[in-house]
Amino acid sequence: MKYLIAGNWKMNTERPRAVQLASEVVDACRTVEGVDIAVCPPSVNLDPVFSVVHGTNIKLGAQNMSPEDSGAFTGEISASMLLAVGCHYVILGHSERRQYFGESDDDVNGKVRQALANRLVPIVCVGENLEQRDAGSATRVVTNQLEGALKDVRISSGTELVVAYEPVWAIGTGRTASPDQAQDMHAHIRSLLKALLGDAANDVRILYGGSMKPANAAELLAQPDVNGGLIGGASLKADQFVEIAKAAATAA
Ligand code: PGA
């Protein structure tokens, strides 16, 4: 399975910096082969960033999306709008959306179904917080989140779908899950996906997210069920991001 390295820029980069960072990423990643690479800028910068990455080996992703088609939903952005500015991926159910904006598994489910119906590729985020890990309930939390996000979702083999395991305690903290911790949860997610989606689960990429950086990327990507990374902080520096993409190319 081809690795996917996706940069989640979060609420960073005003337009000039977004364009500059995208250009740096394009230049740095030009020679990286055999890996899918994506950048996910803030929504107002999707359009200018698309102009930069269009026709290169970098794909565009959004960070959130409405489950509705159109209409009176002030502040929301629809799947068709994302498609129209060149998005291929959309991150859904990121822990920051769950934590700060109250997104529930049901909300995430509506968005996942809307993305798939519009042929956008969802990057569905799941992950436990520190309290839940310490209480020994990480597997249960991730199971509930994934079952909730994929409720009534049916996909055929070859349909692109991505899951990102992002332990909340490792996001932006500098703490990373150990390769074993990541592999254990990824293997669990893989078997859960098989139960939920059947054979189509074999094509689903499971990314690790949470302080992935050049220093730890290779050992995380070497795990059999780690199929790429969702990168926050390190995606804001083109040189670090490309090092991670190169680690994926080497691991492939
Ligand atoms: P981080 O963020 O790499 O800064 O930990 C990952 C994410 O939240 O997607």
Distance between Cα 112 and ligand 1 center (Å): 20
Nearest CA to ligand 1 atom 9: 232
Using an 8 Å Cβ cutoff, are 165 and 187 in contact?
A: no
Catalytic residues: 94, 166
Overall pTM surpassing 0.85 (yes/no): yes
Atom of ligand 1 nearest to the CA of 95: 8
The Cα–Cα gap between 60 and 37 comes to 9
Using an 8 Å Cβ cutoff, are 101 and 128 in contact?
A: no
Q: Is 168 in the pocket of ligand 1 (CB under 6 A)?
A: no
pLDDT in tens, the chain (252 residues): 999 999 999 999 999 999 999 999 999 999 999 999 999 999 999 999 999 999 999 999 999 999 999 999 999 999 999 999 999 999 999 999 999 999 999 999 999 999 999 999 999 999 999 999 999 999 999 999 999 999 999 999 889 999 999 999 998 888 888 999 999 999 999 999 999 999 999 999 999 999 999 999 999 999 999 999 999 999 999 999 999 999 999 998
